Amino acid sequence: MARRRTGPTDVVKAMVYDRDGGACVRCGALENLTVHHRVNRGMGGAREPWINQAHNLLTACTVCNGWFEDNPRESYEAGWKVRRPQLPGEVLVRYPDGSQYRLTPDGVRATTVAAAR
């Protein structure tokens, strides 16, 4: 019996890699990259269809992927991790250059404009 696939498709992984410039979103590394889920999948994979969509995924090196888990406060503040019930499209992500972006399910990194007061 084949194992049920619980991760993102190869197409989505390629979209995320391209969007993130083929580099870790925290340190900018270009090697030992993996796909990181901003909202954890949970045990046995998640039921939500968006869990493996581009806005919930980041390119991360293996060192930073572990760092996200060991440093949750900083990871949530930077948007590298997202706490339920928030959705990944609602939380900005900080990139290595300090810029913040809203990520979309179709693999776009949108700049945000501060609201005029």
Looking at per-residue pLDDT, the higher value among 116 and 95 belongs to 95
In this model, does residue 43 exceed pLDDT 80?
no
For all residues of the chain together, what is the average pLDDT?
Answer: 90
pTM for the model:
0.88
φ/ψ of residue 55, rounded to 5: -70, -15
In this model, does residue 3 exceed pLDDT 90?
no
Q: Are 9 and 17 in contact (CB under 8 A)?
A: no
